Homo-oligomer: A and B are copies of this chain.
Amino acid sequence: MTTRVMVDDLRAFCIEALCRAGAKRTHAETVADVLVMTDTWGTFTHGTKLLRDYVKRVRAGGLRSDTEPAVVSSGPAWAIVDGGSCLGHVTSVFAMQQAIERARKTGIAYVGVRNSCHFGGAGYYAWLAAKEGLIGVSMANDIPSVAAAGSRRSVTGSNPLAYAVPTGADPLLLDIASSTVAGGKVYAAFQRGEPIPNNWILDEEGHPSTDSSLYPAKAALTPLANHKGYGIALLIETLSGLLTGAQITWQVGSWIWGDATQPTGHGAAFIAIDIAAMGPRDVFESRINGLIREIHESPAADGVEKVLIPHEREWNLRRHALVHGIELPSDVAGKLSGLAEDIGLRPDWLPHCH
């Protein structure tokens, strides 16, 4: 059972919900853009499903509505941004725009963020750079939910990493957690009453489990490919947390389960690289499109129609969604229905509340 909604209707609902909670309209529009784009990609774990919990924090004051992100220190190719504990999406868009502007002058720029909050899907911010013709990289830390290689309990966040590269058409884009899967996937399986593969989580004894109900209180996510994901998570913690003055590991507040009146202190990092600074744009585009052709023409494995480039499937889903609407899975529609009830909204596309 899915719920179909047109992109404009979903966006308007997000904006209205955030504004009723007290968010500035400009902030609400930014958050809506991030969440709806993420849903058009079919990445429902990180789209509007999260809105109800953001709204709760805005109403409680842990996400502030009276602040704006600001550069607190900077040099030629870097800046540190203080998010003022406003919505993490707003701070992240601001930070990536700073990175893009600086990279246009210097070739590459790093912008680190502190006093932010959960920013949704990392891929959106990387895409902001690619849309402007730059290579974008985005990442963030979070509360510990992932075991280290050899640990029994959570040590790092499921720290996401995304990049996007312009191609002249759909950007090449990757958005991954440094855990085997994002916690949201375990949680979604639990909500749908489904078991999970035995390599996604470790129970309190540090043993693999297929019981999605254990997460997060009594289980840790496994790190992606063991020591490799653990190491990637620590690079993200370094660039997002240690270097920015943000909170790290257990100092970070849980944006879902923590006290909604208090800031979470998340960190994040954004890097932009200006392709045009380093050579003719058309040469780069010709080369990357040659690479994409080569991949498309490579022989596919049994049962696979065609070898795709990263995010190709998601761009196709988005094209379809822009014309025909998004088919929201039941867990997403359920969260939105609950939110609609919280704030007294009744959009006609949304089934009645759970």
Contact = CB atoms under 8 A, between A and B. Distances in A.
Nearest to A243: B278
A153 interface: yes
Nearest to A245: B279
Contacts of A295: 148, 151, 155
A110 B112 contact: no
A217 interface: no
Interface string A234-247: 11011100110100
Contacts of A287: 242, 248
A108 B78 contact: yes
A288 B224 contact: no
A245 B224 CA distance: 32
Contacts of A232: 174
Interface string A263-296: 0000000010101011100001001100100110
B310 A227 contact: yes
A243 to B, nearest CB: 6
Nearest to A110: B108
A25 interface: no
A301 B151 contact: yes
Interface residues of A, number: 74
A249 interface: yes
A328 to B, nearest CB: 24
A23 to B, nearest CB: 30
Contacts of A149: 307-308
Given A163-B235, A174-B235, A225-B224, A108 B77 contact: yes
A78 B110 contact: no
Interface in A315-352: none
Interface in A98-146: 105-110, 112, 135
A284 B151 contact: no
A110 B273 contact: yes
Contacts of A275: 243
A238 B77 contact: no
A123 B107 CA distance: 24
Given A165-B238, A237-B291, A278 B78 contact: yes
Contacts of A353: none
6 contacts: A135-B238, A174-B231, A174-B232, A206-B299, A242-B284, A243-B284
Interface of A: 73, 75-78, 80, 105-110, 112, 135, 147-153, 155, 163, 165, 172, 174, 176, 180, 202, 205-207, 224-225, 227-232, 234-235, 237-239, 242-243, 245, 248-250, 271, 273, 275, 277-279, 284, 287-288, 291, 294-295, 298-302, 304, 306-310
Q: Closest 10 interchain pairs by CB?
A: A174-B231, A78-B107, A77-B106, A206-B301, A77-B77, A150-B304, A231-B310, A76-B106, A152-B299, A108-B110
